Amino acid sequence: MARVALVTGGTRGIGASIAKALKAAGYKVAANYGGNDAAAEKFKGETEIPVYKWDVSSFEACTDGIKKVEADLGPIEILVNNAGITRDTAFHKMSLEQWSAVINTNLGSLFNMTRPVIEGMRARKFGRIINISSINGQKGQFGQVNYSAAKAGDIGFTKALALETAKAGITVNAICPGYINTEMVQAVPKDVLEKSILPLIPVGRLGEPEEIARAVVFLAADDAGAITGSTLTINGGQYMV
């Protein structure tokens, strides 16, 4: 029986590539999304992956959404916490709403999504939790105190939970992408991209969403059980840890 995988923020960008790659690898995949109905329906039509809409910053919404996924597909055994937002501004101009929205979505969602599935994983003695953090959670970034704090928190969450769940057959790992060729990065003006961003990347190009997806498939595998508490950095050499 194919294992069930749930990807948050799974209908666009990196999340969509992850969902597609997991399906291609033989998993039964569900994709969560937060707001873009048109993109979600297009993704569903193209991939035949079922989509589920809820706000990952709400614990109640996550609990209800996960129940629906499990009723439709079965117990969730692979959880990819990918959903994230930005509300960029210098800290001295940052509002409480901008801080809270990013912390609740990018960090709080890890609790909201993982808590409802962790007991089932423990009972079954198997689980794969993969958290998509960021290069900016490792090195910081001007104008992203909220985002960098949340993404750094994702790494701490990963390490602590990995210690707690190792003996239960559950692995917890993080992936830190750098600049990836998604809609968000494509929206950056070409001259900024060529003069200010690409020169910082030793491989001389943006990463591709499929490269992140392949790493997720690797970590999700049954035979990746000795890899836990790890942070996999995928940034073209821009920041080495």
Which residues does the annotation mark as catalytic? 147
Alpha carbon 145 to chain centroid, angstroms: 19
∠16-20-26 over CA atoms, to 5°? 150
∠113-117-123 over CA atoms, to 5°? 160
CA distances from 39 to 7, 16, 45, 202 (A): 15, 10, 10, 33
CA distances from 135 to 37, 151, 155, 169, 216 (A): 29, 8, 11, 28, 16
Q: Taking a C-beta distance cutoff of 8 angstroms, is the pair 85, 107 a contact? A: no
Q: Kindly report the number of other CB atoms within 10 A of residue 153's CB atom.
A: 18
